[in-house]
């Protein structure tokens, strides 16, 4: 079978998690939403649980249900979209902690699952999710009486350490939560790097587990190798791919690889990306199509079975820079057709 191979180095993930843990004195959790940023939530979470992680976060209740099956009883699993309509059974059956996002969810949760653990999200200025200050004032007595497991805020500009929004949100979080005896979390990867003022009781790194920006000191953990399924020689003036997107300037050897935009290789990378044959760069030529890309391998003495799109010479962040996006989008777009392999992570 000639599918692309996505390899995740679970030891690198664990080392990244440990390095982020050591930046603070608090508990370090792990965010494994969107199937562990496209890499495999079950494998990432199991490796981190073995390394000592006890608190996990996902975006949706059904992601939480799958994660509970992977982890078994014990670790806490928080749902960042809170308690949405229709979620009660999944939250109860899989022992998930909804992070309530607003007054409507507080009402829904207290009505549907009055004795079930929950957390609360507080809006300190991002204006995406969470109770705003006035809503919190009105509801805090009721919420606190239910003994929330966690109070969460999210930073809008944590990847810009000098942005004044960081300190502003921190001050609002203190004003909303100081003296209430709440267990608190404020920092994703970027917030961890801002320093201990932002750490509170628990941090929530996601992207940093993969050694991607903003955790640029981390260790890249992902490799994506794409299979060469055909090689052909073209002569000057022949064209390659849709819209005749590339015209051979002379005699060239073109390799066709089995992955395309349906697999997360953005079409905007047409004519721009570089693949790697070991240490040798090979330019992508012509358009990215749905299932295939074409690569100039004229200069290779031998065409290997696979070329790397993400690997030692090109991180997800490097590829993101070429595509005009961020590493998060590159990773989470990695499609279901790749064979996922895991190295390391043994107990
Ligand atoms: C996605 C997310 C995280 C993880 O963010 P990273 O930047 O990937 O570390 C943490 N908290 C919330 C609320 C999130 O949505």
- The residue ranges of every structural domain in the chain are 10-210, 222-314
Distance 31 CA to ligand 1 centre (A): 6
> SS3 for 277?
strand
- Rounded CA gap, 39 and 44, in Å? 8
User: Atom of ligand 1 at shortest distance to CA of 208?
Assistant: 9
Q: Which CATH superfamily is domain 222-314 in?
A: Lyase, Ornithine Decarboxylase; Chain A, domain 1 (2.40.37.10)
Locate tokens 């009402």: which residue? Answer: 107
What tens digit of pLDDT does each residue of 203-222 get? 999 999 999 999 999 999 99
Of 132, 198, 242, 272, catalytic: 242
Question: Counting runs of H as helices and runs of E as strands, what totals does the chain give?
Answer: 11, 19
Q: What is the 3-state secondary structure (H, E, C) of 116-171?
A: CCCEEEECCCCCCCCECHHHHHHHHHHHHHCCCCCEECCCCCCCCCCCHHHHHHHH
Residues facing residue 246 across a β-bridge: 240
Residues 184/200, Cβ–Cβ less than 8 Å: yes
37 Cα to the center of ligand 1, angstroms = 11
Residue among 188, 213, 331 whose CB has most ligand 1 atoms within 8 A, to mutate: 188
Residues having CB within 6 Å of any atom of ligand 1: 31, 33, 80, 154, 188-190, 204-208
Å from CA of 129 to ligand 1 middle: 13
Evaluate whether 120 touches 67 at the Cβ level (below 8 Å): no
CB 270 within 8 A of CB 295: no
Residues 325 and 309: their CA atoms lie apart, in Å, by: 16
CA-nearest residue for atom 6, ligand 1, is: 206
Q: Which of 204, 205, 211, 218 to mutate to test the pocket of ligand 1 (most atoms within 8 A of CB)?
A: 204
**Residue 345's pLDDT band (boundaries 50, 70, 90)?**
confident
Closest CA to 193 of 68, 19, 51: 19
Residue 181 has pLDDT above 70, yes or no: yes
The alpha carbon of 296 and the centre of ligand 1 are apart by a number of angstroms equal to 38
Q: Taking each helix axis from N to C terminus, what angle separates 103-112 and 133-145, rounded to the nearest 10 degrees?
A: 20
User: What is the rounded average pLDDT of the residues 118-125?
Assistant: 98
Q: What is the per-residue pLDDT across 271-281, written as a single tens digit (0 to 9) for each? A: 999 999 999 99
Pocket test residue of 36, 38, 63, 80 for ligand 1, highest count of atoms within 8 A of CB: 80
Residue 245 has pLDDT above 60, yes or no: yes
pLDDT band at 2 (very low <50, low <70, confident <90, very high): confident
Burial class (CB in 10 A: 0-12, 13-18, 19+), 154: buried
User: Is 242 among the residues known to form the active site?
Assistant: yes
* Active-site annotation holder among 33, 261, 328, 342: 33
What's the confidence (pLDDT) of residue 347?
52
Helix (H) or strand (E) holding 21: helix 10-21
Closest CA to 335 of 35, 21, 25, 17: 35
Q: Is 305 exposed, middle or buried (0-12, 13-18, 19+ CB in 10 A)?
A: exposed
Of the candidate CATH numbers 1.10.238.10, 3.20.20.10, 3.40.30.10, 3.30.300.30, the domain formed by 10-210 belongs to 3.20.20.10
What confidence tens digit (pLDDT) does each residue in 65-95 have?
999 999 999 999 999 999 999 999 999 999 9
* pTM, rounded to two decimals: 0.97
DSSP state of 22: T
60/69 Cα distance (integer angstroms)? 15
Ligand 1: residue whose CA is nearest its atom 10? 188
- Dist CA 331 CA 212 (whole Å): 10
Cα separation, 313 vs 302, in Å, equals 19
- Residues 330, 186, 115: CA angle, nearest 5 degrees: 105
CA distance 297 to 302: 9
Q: What does the block give as tokens for 36?
A: 């562990």
Cα-to-centroid distance, 172 and ligand 1 (Å)? 19
Q: Is the pLDDT of residue 232 over 70?
A: yes
Task: Establish whether 272 is a catalytic residue.
Answer: no
């Amino acid at each position: 079978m000639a599918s692309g191979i996505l390899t995740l180095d679970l030891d690198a993930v664990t080392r990244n998690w440990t390095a982020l843990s050591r930046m603070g004195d608090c508990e370090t959790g792990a965010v494994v939403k969107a199937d562990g940023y496209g890499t495999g939530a079950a494998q990432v979470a199991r490796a981190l649980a073995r390394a000592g992680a006890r608190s996990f976060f996902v975006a949706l209740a059904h992601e939480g249900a799958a994660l509970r099956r992977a982890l078994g009883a014990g670790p806490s699993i928080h749902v960042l979209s809170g308690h949405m309509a229709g979620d009660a059974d999944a939250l109860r059956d899989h022992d998930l902690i909804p992070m309530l996002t607003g007054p409507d969810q507080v009402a829904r949760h207290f009505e549907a699952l009055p004795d079930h653990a929950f957390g609360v999200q507080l809006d300190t200025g991002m204006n995406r999710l969470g109770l705003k200050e006035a809503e919190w004032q009105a509801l805090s007595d009721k919420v606190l009486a239910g003994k929330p497991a966690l109070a969460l805020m999210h930073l809008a500009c944590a990847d810009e350490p000098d942005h004044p929004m960081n300190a502003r949100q921190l001050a609002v979080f203190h004003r909303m939560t100081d003296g209430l005896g709440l267990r608190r979390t404020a920092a994703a990867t970027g917030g961890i790097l801002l320093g201990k003022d932002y750490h509170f009781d628990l941090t929530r790194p996601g992207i940093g587990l993969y050694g991607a920006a903003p955790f640029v000191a981390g260790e890249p953990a992902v490799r994506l190798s794409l299979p060469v399924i055909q090689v052909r020689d073209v002569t000057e003036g022949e064209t390659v791919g849709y819209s005749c997107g590339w015209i051979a300037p002379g005699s060239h050897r073109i390799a066709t690889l089995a992955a395309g935009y349906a697999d997360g290789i953005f079409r905007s990378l047409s004519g721009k990306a570089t693949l790697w044959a070991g240490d040798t760069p090979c330019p992508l030529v012509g358009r990215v199509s749905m299932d295939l890309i074409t690569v100039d391998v004229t200069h290779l003495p031998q065409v290997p079975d696979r070329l790397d799109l993400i690997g030692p010479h090109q991180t997800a962040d490097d590829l993101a820079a070429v595509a005009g996006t961020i590493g998060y989008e590159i990773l989470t777009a990695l499609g279901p057709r790749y064979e996922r392999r895991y190295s390391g992570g043994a107990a």
